[in-house]
A and B are shown apart, each in its own frame.
Chain A
């Protein structure tokens, strides 16, 4: 069966520090992968999606970037975090429906 992992689960970072969030998928090959951000009590905003290694599409211009160095690995990064980057970050992979990881709660102080 397929599983999706995200780490870390929780992260507190100062403004201006770098960021790296990792997502890995097991049990499937060449999945489409997605990064979402969710503010507290709000809906999901699609940030990036990837249809293959090295193929990244950005949905929203922002301070973040994404990379896919391996088939089942998706990384969300920032060189310098802003206060507005705080939120809950979800990774997902898709068959027909999307399956989500447990998420990372990021607080930028």
Chain B
């Protein structure tokens, strides 16, 4: 079974600075997807970024980028020019790319609470 580990329960950053959230995962599969979700105080789960394991290029979405290290099974999220609205809990998630019994289920990490200081 796959596991996802976020070793940082809490992180903080100053507004306009850069912060990196860590995520490691364990899998025996070669084809999969990785995601970062953001959950602000409203508790709505918002997809931040997605990475396909077969792609060597790291995904980027505006101020959000990932550092995907497949051999190390590491998938960190970098937030540049942090804004007050980035304050949220961030979840890393894994999904198998194979069909069969995975049914699109996600395996989530425990979450990292990000505080942004003005």
Interface residues of A (CB under 8 A from B): 32, 34, 38, 41-44, 46, 49, 51, 57, 88, 90, 92, 94, 96-100, 102-103, 105
B104 near A32 (CB under 8 angstroms)?
yes
A43-B108, A43-B110 known; A49+B47 contact, CB < 8 A: no
B78 within 8 A of partner (CB): no
> Hey, which chain A residues are within 8 Å of B42, CB to CB?
102
CA distance A34 to B113 in the complex (A): 24
Chain B residues within 8 Å of A57, by CB: 103
Bound Cα distance A88, B106 (Å): 18
CB-defined contacts of A42 to chain B, threshold 8 Å = 110-111
Which residues on A sit within 8 Å (CB–CB) of B109? 43
Nearest A-chain residue to B39, judged by Cβ: A38
Task: Say how far A104's CB is from chain B's closest CB, in angstroms.
Answer: 10
Interface of A, secondary structure class, is: strand
Establish whether residues B110 and A46, one from each chain, have CB atoms under 8 Å apart when the complex forms.
Answer: no
| Contact digits for B90-110, partner A, Cβ 8 Å, 1 yes 0 no | 010001000000011110111
- Chain B residues 36-84 with CB under 8 Å of chain A are 42-47, 50
Q: Are A96 and B111 interface neighbours, CB within 8 A?
A: no
**Shortest Cβ distance from A100 into chain B, in angstroms?**
4
- Centre residue among B105, B111, B113 by max chain A CB count within 10 A: B105
A94 surroundings in chain B (CB, below 8 A): 104
Taking a contact as CB atoms closer than 8 A, the residue among A32, A97, A102 that contacts B47 in the complex is: A97
Which A-B residue pairs are the 5 nearest by beta carbons?
Answer: A100-B45, A94-B104, A32-B104, A43-B110, A44-B108
Contact A103 B33 (CB under 8 A): no
Q: Which of B44, B89, B105 has a CB less than 8 Å from the CB of A34?
A: B105
The answer to whether A51 and B91 touch (CB under 8 A), given A96-B50, A99-B47, A100-B45, is no
B11-54 vs A, Cβ < 8 Å mask (1 yes, 0 no)? 00000000000000000000001010000001111110010000
Smallest distance from the beta carbon of B51 to chain A beta carbons, Å? 11
When the two chains form the complex, which single residue of B35, B105, B108, B111 contacts A97, counting CB atoms closer than 8 Å? B35
